[in-house]
Structure 1
Amino acid sequence: MPFARPTLSQLLTQIEQDIASGLQGSDPLLRFANLNITGTALANLVNLHYGYLDWISKQSVPITSEDEYLEGWAALKNVFRKAATQATGTVSFPGTNGVDLPSGTLITRSDRVELTTTSDAVVAGSVVTAPAIVNADPTGLTGAFGNCSAGVVMNLGTSISGIQSSGTAATAFTGGADIETDDSLMTRMLQAYQNQPQGGALQDYIEWALAISGVTRAWVNPSGFGPGTVVVYTMFDSAEAAHGGFPQGTNGVATGETRGIPTAAGDQLAVANGIYANQPVTALVWSYAPTQNVINFTINGISGASAATKAAINAAIDSVFLQYGSPVPAQSGSVALSLIESEIAAISGTQGFVITSPTTNIANVLGQLPVRGTVSYT
């Protein structure tokens, strides 16, 4: 039988009754009586003690633990909080042939985010291209702010003779991720408790992928490219939010793979390299980014819906796709249209709506993720 924690009002009543019975003739109910004030203070202290005991009880089991206690429970299953990581990419500047751009040069992005070049580069063909990394957040909490698309304006932090001060990101900056949240760590920890490692089972690949900074969802297609191959699809919903959560890079295999297969790049390479150290030696693992399967909607009956209601409908559709969309249909089936309808029906101001397109459940397609396209109201 669960313990029923007394409320503050119940504690106050109990203490007043104890004072009245222990001191005959006293009246602890008088508002400004010393006994009333003492009883109220005591009830508040006891209530705090109950609250502390509640908090202790939550930290005593994995499923309700928080912060460092959650990290402790997760560590028992070799699951650790993913640290913030910094985005990397390349920058380019016009210049005079032969001029050196030193390693450690400070670069400032157009939004004032600072980067540092990581190796020397020399101007050739009137352009210098150098690898760079976004400077770390001193608190160690964020990193996704460093991701950006190719072509973003970059400026030299200090002038260098023979190199123009204004340039661009030659490639997209990827790999930046914030420190893992408690909810994400909790999910991975519970998966580890519920699924014992089996030396390369499907669930093992999912756990290995989810342990990589920035990865929020993962799916596995065994024998995706024939016997002995494993295709791992991943999403970076927070780190690549500017791209809809889709990884930015090139599909392929890990750097250490020696079987003549194209090496991945960007986010896909981070996943491939992260899995490579754990995978069975006979497996050929491909790291893949899903492609978008854009689904347009037509909704009848609520053409006068407010902007807030329409925004809530968009969020409802996105939520269903986030939970049930999968690039491996053999393991997930389709996204039931009724799930989207029930989410929309729960939104105030949507009474009488009818989804006229699509008219059937939304099939998950191999290698693709369903995403919301346009939502039209008639």
Structure 2
Amino acid sequence: MQNSGFSRPTLPQLIDTIRGDLLTRFNEDSVLRRLDAEVYARVQAAAIHTLYGYIDYLARNILPDLADENWLTRHGNIKRCPRKGATKASGFVRWEGVQNAISLPADTEIHRDDGQIYTTTVPTTSAQGVLRVPVVAKSSSQAGNCEDGIALRLATPISGLSSTGYADSIRTGTDIEDLDSWRQRIMARWYDTPQGGADSDYVRWAKEVLGISRAWTHRHKNGIGTVGVMVASDDVDHPAPTQEILTKVREHILPLAPVAGSGLTVFAVTEKSVPLSLALSTDTSEIRAAVIGEIKAFLQREGEPGSKLFLSRLTEAISLAAGEVAHRLIAPTGDIELAQTEVPVLGEVTWAKYKE
């Protein structure tokens, strides 16, 4: 059974054990196919084997580290650590060079080429040649996030306005919390007992807010007795949360923080761009995409504020990319230092020609 040191008997072992016990009690020394002891042994062994299976199932789920999803929900509810749901991406769609006084009503649908749908939230009128309309994604998921400059098209034509606008800061969309991340938050409640304002309390409170996956406490941020909470999302390209999310984090923490605290500051991490110059021996678009994915995962995994990103570790991450055979990392040329408020994000990647 799970981590208990107990070895669960197999069904044949149970049959042999029960059969032996019965034959001993009946003073029998021969095993016949239709002997009553043989029948009893098989029936009882099957029942006991089922019970062992259920006990094994309970042993796996009784603690959150190995629990199934349904049991993890129970553990989370007991520890007041519910799973964070998906959120909708929001931002703006922008038109430039348009006539003034062109209006776009609320609830207007705007489509992305891959089928993602956005809806305008308030009526907006163009001014000074610009129409910048607030929108929200129709579905809740990270897929609603959109890079700036991506073309978005009106579902219904508007007189005097081009059907194509462009994404402007459409972010904040998140998927339902990953099962392992949720499991780690629940386990943190076991390890870090609430202490009425310890560093770990502020980290836990901040991570309870939708859109926040990482947090750090800065003691005496604005003087003795004040607390600074630095937060980041799990977006590898834009880990710094919006002001709206920062406000939600502060409003969530304030009722939980000690009354004696003289000040609480919630602020976003500073994004440190890390540009790369790289040459691949086998250079295809698929391998490039795999390399970029591994680099981003490395930066998010090891880019703790105040830490150092070792060049050897970055090279190792590139080598993990599917299809990569050999490469030369031209830049950066040394380890990357991160300040106490910085997390790394991948900057511009320049692809060079590989030379032996």
Q: Provide the secondary structure at the position in 2 that maps to 1:191.
A: helix
Equivalence for 2:138: 135
- What does 1:34-183 correspond to in 2, within 5 Å? 39=42, 47-93=49-95, 96-137=99-140, 143-169=141-167, 171-183=168-180
Q: Provide the secondary structure at the position in 2 that maps to 1:184.
A: helix
Q: Provide the secondary structure at the position in 1 that maps to 2:171.
A: coil
- What does 1:182-261 correspond to in 2, within 5 Å? 182-227=179-224, 229-237=226-234, 240-241=235-236, 243=237, 246-247=239-240, 249=242
Q: 1:134 is aligned with what amino acid?
A: A
- What does 1:246-325 correspond to in 2, within 5 Å? 246-247=239-240, 249=242, 264=243, 268-279=246-257, 282-292=262-272, 294=274, 322-325=300-303
Unaligned runs of 5+ in 2: none
Q: Distance in 1 between matches of 2:332 and 2:101?
A: 59
Q: 2:146 is aligned with what amino acid?
A: C
Once the two structures are TM-superposed, the CA of residue 221 in structure 1 deviates from its matched residue by: 2.3
Q: 1:50 is aligned with what amino acid?
A: Y
Equivalence for 2:342: 368
Query: With structure 1 as the length reference, what TM-score do the two structures score?
Result: 0.68
Q: Distance in 2 between matches of 1:89 and 1:177?
A: 14
Equivalent pair of 1:93/1:168 in contact (CA under 8 Å) = yes
Once the two structures are TM-superposed, the CA of residue 342 in structure 1 deviates from its matched residue by: 9.5
Q: Distance in 1 between matches of 2:289 and 2:163?
A: 42
Q: Provide the secondary structure at the position in 2 that maps to 1:197.
A: coil
Q: Provide the secondary structure at the position in 1 that maps to 2:187.
A: helix
Q: Provide the secondary structure at the position in 1 that maps to 2:65.
A: helix
Equivalent pair of 1:234/1:290 in contact (CA under 8 Å) = no
- Judging by fraction of residues, say which structure has more strand: 2
How many residues are paired up? 339
Once the two structures are TM-superposed, the CA of residue 126 in structure 1 deviates from its matched residue by: 4.2
Q: Which moved more, 1:284-293 or 1:368-377?
A: 368-377
Pairwise CA RMSD: 4.8
Q: Distance in 2 between matches of 1:45 and 1:374?
A: 65
Q: Distance in 1 between matches of 2:152 and 2:95?
A: 9
Equivalent pair of 1:272/1:287 in contact (CA under 8 Å) = no
Q: Distance in 2 between matches of 1:337 and 1:269?
A: 37
Q: Distance in 1 between matches of 2:21 and 2:320?
A: 49
Q: 1:285 is aligned with what amino acid?
A: T
Pick from 5, 8, 16 the counterpart of residue 2 of structure 1.
Answer: 5
Once the two structures are TM-superposed, the CA of residue 83 in structure 1 deviates from its matched residue by: 0.9
Equivalence for 1:326: 304
Query: With structure 2 as the length reference, what TM-score do the two structures score?
Result: 0.71
Once the two structures are TM-superposed, the CA of residue 6 in structure 1 deviates from its matched residue by: 1.5
Q: Against the structure 1 CA distance between its residues 312 and 144, is the aligned structure 2 distance closer, same or farther, given a 3 Å change threshold? A: closer
Equivalent pairs: percent with the same residue? 29
Deviations 1:126-149 (A, max 9, x none): 443221110125xxxxx1111112
Equivalent pair of 1:175/1:270 in contact (CA under 8 Å) = no
